[in-house]
Chain A
């Protein structure tokens, strides 16, 4: 089993190396190469690739965090601290950053700072509350660090970057039409970092690829439990319910997706389709207009708007929209015929 896995990872490494040669400006490829090197224990090479990813895209958060974890793993704690503190300035409510710094401070004997960080991590996310409670660190609303708990926390492996490694291998396999293997990798990722909504969202997406819709729904819902503001999670749920022809649920989730992502024209478009299918023309028209306000050149929204006006016998408005469309795509026979019919 292990041998087979290594064969897969080596093959992926080889392919990503080739891709990185073809696309030397892709920071994500450098980050992926670094993760693969890390997994093989080639830390120097991994560091070089993370640094290259950050040179290409200095705001690449995954690469920043991975580099920090690499430094912790190789006991370059000062450099790691700088990275996580700098990230914390940008994301002060990120429970994971507080957790990592807490562990880092325990390892460097800075107990008071460790207590403060762990307290913050627990406050920010229920996952860390349970995490520290089961280890006897969080009791009655306070962080308790004694010799025993300190010793056990010192031994904790900060291997969330391995979670990211499995996540990326999972996505890679999914994109190459190997969903069953992809699911295995993504499950490993979710086990290593259960509070990461992306892993559940990705699992949901792979199940969606496979046509395993109930499983996809379950994973998208898990992702949304972790991050209820994950708007695309609601959109994905809506698409899955659409595939199941359960349009009432699809409508409910798409509304929520739009509410969370009001500037995403495509979501307004999809919501308009759901309304239009239910002959709720007024709401459909409104959504299409919103889509067009966000993206004036959204031709598809204009086509639907024209047809919607036609359905409501609002001939002038329908003609106006069709003429606008034909100015942009004069070869569109479908629209030309519709315009001729109502002219």
Chain B
């Protein structure tokens, strides 16, 4: 049975706030069971401090786990990630250098906190 999009959307919302992700920089939506996740993918500030290599590894693991969790939500038929700073290529998550404007936006958001 096709699950209602709003029910899926509510599940994603709850799932996101329970992860280590800073979801304030992300948008997500559901269209007929297809889930879209867009924006800047970042760990919440509690997890992003410290060693750069470890943070990267943890971020990649979080991305895999996020995808798995979304796919496990009943009614989800596909997940499309459109992050500006991470891209999935041949099953591997790789960081993408953000463009000037996106970086400026990020710095501005940080200074507003």
Contact = CB atoms under 8 A, between A and B. Distances in A.
Interface residues of B, number: 30
Q: Which of B11, B34, B113 has the most CB of A within 10 A?
A: B113
Given A19-B45, A273-B6, A332-B80, A239 B14 contact: yes
B30 interface: yes
B44 A304 contact: no
Given A239-B10, A247-B6, A303 B31 contact: yes
Given A175-B44, A300-B27, A307-B32, A209 B9 contact: no
B9 A242 contact: yes
Nearest to A172: B46
B80 A334 contact: yes
B4 A277 contact: yes
A240 B17 CA distance: 13
Interface in A316-343: 329, 332, 334
Contacts of B13: 239
Interface stretch (A21-29, A71-79, A117-125, A152-160): A21-29
Given A209-B18, A243-B11, A304 B29 contact: yes
A332 B28 CA distance: 15
A269 interface: yes
A242 B6 contact: yes
A276 interface: yes
Contact of B9 (A27, A273, A301, A332): A273
Interface of B: 4-7, 9-11, 13-14, 17-18, 27-32, 34, 36, 38, 44-46, 49, 78, 80, 82, 110-111, 113
11 contacts: A27-B113, A175-B44, A208-B14, A209-B18, A239-B10, A240-B10, A242-B11, A245-B4, A300-B28, A300-B29, A307-B31
